[in-house]
């Protein structure tokens, strides 16, 4: 039986690369949207989903935190992928022939120095892998795509220039989602617990809710807020902490959190990726 992992995007997308790097033996299933990737797992057509949550250059991925609590899935792992951007063109094309580069607007913005140096015009495409496919179909040696090497392999394009991004540390963090939770202790770099919560409508509720983590020495490595249901008064918080819910210090911190919250939901307990930090 072939084990599958779903991702959002076309074959050759950076999410596809994440699947390939983290689970090379799994079949990667492309999906049109994040919701489609989640639904593919819930229908049993894939065992896991690979979802991007944040990028070191551009911050969190829009809308993904809204989907996590409602997905019916659980975080079982995380993966970090270096976003190396490459200039891909038709076989036989040379760098001095390239006049236009097509890609997602985010990638175009990350390669300004290279594109300016070679006087290459930026053309906005729907996404990275789709831009590579478009260049293969266009069959114009003066046009190139900015995408992953995996996209070049899939669409028969050559790499004219590797790793042309302006920032050399551009990294995307992905969460691996499963229909079943796995709270077992595993990995060699400690555990992470992710959860969402809503504070009670009382003065200084968030300050008091966070106090338990400080007094118990629990390191909170991420805290983000976002509106619930379009309301300006109903705010939900997403948090990552170091540790396992069974750790005495984490237990005490979560118990104190309950006093000042109207809801808490653990999204996943999983090993810290070796590339974290």
Tokens of 122: 């930026």
Q: Is the pLDDT of residue 101 over 80?
A: yes
pLDDT for res 251:
97
Residue with tokens 């995307």: 172
Give pLDDT tens digits for 193-223: 999 999 887 888 889 889 999 999 999 999 9
Q: Give me the pLDDT at residue 228, please.
A: 73
More confident residue, 199 or 98: 98
Report all structural domains of the chain as residue ranges with CATH numbers, in order of start.
Answer: 4-83+170-178 (3.40.190.10), 86-159 (3.40.190.10), 191-271 (3.30.70.260)
What pLDDT score was predicted for residue 233?
62
* Of 14-23, 24-33, 36-45, 105-114, the least confident: 105-114
Residue 97 neighbours by CB under 8 Å, 6+ apart: 89, 141, 142
The residues that are catalytic are 172, 174
The model scores a pTM over 0.95: no
Q: pLDDT, tens digit, for every residue of 124-182?
A: 998 899 999 999 999 999 999 999 999 999 999 999 999 999 988 889 999 999 999 99
Poorest-confidence range of 189-193, 203-207, 255-259?
203-207
């Amino acid at each position: 039986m072939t084990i599958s992992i779903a991702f959002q995007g076309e074959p050759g997308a950076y999410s596809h690369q994440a699947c390939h790097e983290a689970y090379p033996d799994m079949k990667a299933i492309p999906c049109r949207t994040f919701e489609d990737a989640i639904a593919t797992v819930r229908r049993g057509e894939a065992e896991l989903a690979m979802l991007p949550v944040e990028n070191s250059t551009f911050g969190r991925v829009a809308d993904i935190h809204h989907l996590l609590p409602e997905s019916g899935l659980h975080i079982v792992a995380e993966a970090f992928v270096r976003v190396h951007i490459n200039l891909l063109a038709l076989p036989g094309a040379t760098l001095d022939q390239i006049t236009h580069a097509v890609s997602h607007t985010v990638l175009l913005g990350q390669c300004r120095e290279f594109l300016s140096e070679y006087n290459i015009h930026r053309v906005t495409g729907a996404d990275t892998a789709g831009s590579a496919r478009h260049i293969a179909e266009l069959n114009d040696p003066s046009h190139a795509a900015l995408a992953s090497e995996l996209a070049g392999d899939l669409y028969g394009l050559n790499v004219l220039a590797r790793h042309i991004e302006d920032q050399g540390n551009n990294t995307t963090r992905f969460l691996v989602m499963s229909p079943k939770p796995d709270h077992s202790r595993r990995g060699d770099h400690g555990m992470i617990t992710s959860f969402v919560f809503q504070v009670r409508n009382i003065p200084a509720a968030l300050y008091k809710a966070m106090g338990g983590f400080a007094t118990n020495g629990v390191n909170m490595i991420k805290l983000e807020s976002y509106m619930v249901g379009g309301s300006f008064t109903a705010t939900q918080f997403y948090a990552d902490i170091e540790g396992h819910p069974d750790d005495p210090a984490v237990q005490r911190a979560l118990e104190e959190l309950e006093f000042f919250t109207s809801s808490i939901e653990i999204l996943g307990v999983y090993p810290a990726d070796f590339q974290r930090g």
